[in-house]
């Protein structure tokens, strides 16, 4: 495969891509800042979560600077953050324990936590799939009742975790395998115009927060048994997700042409990804997709958790580079302006 080596210039306004033949292409971006959260290990034995920022010319261990942190004893899992481009902040939910949310404010450079509210559901309720639309945070409240599994859409206040009334429900057939992490840990994205997209299992749900209309696209063929992530490329009107396709971890491009009219393309197969701890993040400028995955400590790593960031260049033919880091990196998010 032809590999492109990416040089990220963060904070400044452009970065360059160098081809194998030495040809250089400059892409101008308003802001190339990346944020994430980091602890020493997934179990968070030190009881500290730091905000880190990528501020140098490439993704190396030294390129992450620490922007402060918070002392908290939660054990962790890699779920995506949601960036609020209106108020310049991001939020991350501890969906594993379902107790805390975290909000980082770029302007004040502060990280705070808030208590997630008691779920309105009675059966293994969980808040999941946070996404900002025009400065407002939308979430799903999941009910794992096998007789009537469903999600309710709510607005949440990221300052204190309070939620508003249900804006609509997404219902599933009785007996749906709701214990599957594809369902319990739903993911989301938006076109920033008129639609929020939720991925639940191998379904993609369109929600118009202006009209309140919900459109379901169910059982998309070609999506494997366990699927995670959902990102949207507006230029191509396609989605990206990662799926475990009978043992092969694949990056998918999903095109929805209408009801029961889907096309799914495998962009890369047999990726080295831990499906128990993975998130994906899209950056429109430069057409970059990042997959962040984590591997538990082993004797070869001295017991140190390892995080890998896989960066795909989807501007032309897909190509990718991988960098490894010590520690548990999660909640990776691109700053959008």
Strands 196-200 and 126-133: what pairing? Answer: unpaired
Q: Which fold has domain 5-334?
A: Neuraminidase (2.120.10)
Domains in the chain: boundaries: 5-334
Give per-10-residue mean pLDDT for the chain (337 aa). Answer: 32 38 48 82 77 64 73 75 94 78 92 80 71 96 77 92 92 64 76 94 92 89 79 94 88 90 91 90 84 82 82 76 86 86
- pLDDT tens for residues 241-263? 999 888 899 999 999 998 888 99
- pLDDT tens for residues 201-228? 888 999 999 999 999 998 777 676 788 8
Q: What is the pLDDT of residue 72?
A: 74
Q: What is the pLDDT of residue 273?
A: 92
pTM listed for this prediction: 0.85
Q: What is the pLDDT of residue 132?
A: 97
Q: What is the pLDDT of residue 312?
A: 86
């Amino acid at each position: 495969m032809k590999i492109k080596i990416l040089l990220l210039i963060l904070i400044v306004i452009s970065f360059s891509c160098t081809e194998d033949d030495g040809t250089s292409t400059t892409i101008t971006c308003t802001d190339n800042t990346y944020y994430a959260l980091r602890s020493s290990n997934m179990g968070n034995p030190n009881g500290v979560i730091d905000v880190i920022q990528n501020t140098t010319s490439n993704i190396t261990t030294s390129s992450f600077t620490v922007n402060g942190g918070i002392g908290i004893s939660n054990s962790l899992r890699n779920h995506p953050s949601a960036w609020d481009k209106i108020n310049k902040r991001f939020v991350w939910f501890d969906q594993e324990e379902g107790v805390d949310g975290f909000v980082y404010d770029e302007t004040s450079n502060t990280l705070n936590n808030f208590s997630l509210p008691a779920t309105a559901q009675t059966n293994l309720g969980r808040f999941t799939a946070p996404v900002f639309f025009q400065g407002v945070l939308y979430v799903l409240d999941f009910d794992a009742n096998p007789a009537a599994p469903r999600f309710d859409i709510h607005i949440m206040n990221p300052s204190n975790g309070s939620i508003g009334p249900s804006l609509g429900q997404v219902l599933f057939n009785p007996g749906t395998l709701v214990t599957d992490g594809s369902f319990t840990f739903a993911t989301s994205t938006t076109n920033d115009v008129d639609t929020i997209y939720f991925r639940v299992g191998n379904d993609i749900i369109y929600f118009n927060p202006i009209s309140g209309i919900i459109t379901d696209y169910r059982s998309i063929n070609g999506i494997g048994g366990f699927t995670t992530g959902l990102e949207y490329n507006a230029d191509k009107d396609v989605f990206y997700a990662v799926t475990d396709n009978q043992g092969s971890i694949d990056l998918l491009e999903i095109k929805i042409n209408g009801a029961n009219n889907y096309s799914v393309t495998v962009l890369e197969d047999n990726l080295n990804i831990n499906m128990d701890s993975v998130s994906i993040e899209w950056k429109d400028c430069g057409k970059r997709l990042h997959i962040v995955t984590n591997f538990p400590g082993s004797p070869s790593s001295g017991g140190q958790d390892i995080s890998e960031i896989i960066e795909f260049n989807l501007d032309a033919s897909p190509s990718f580079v991988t960098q490894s880091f010590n520690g548990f990196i999660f909640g990776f998010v691109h700053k959008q302006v």
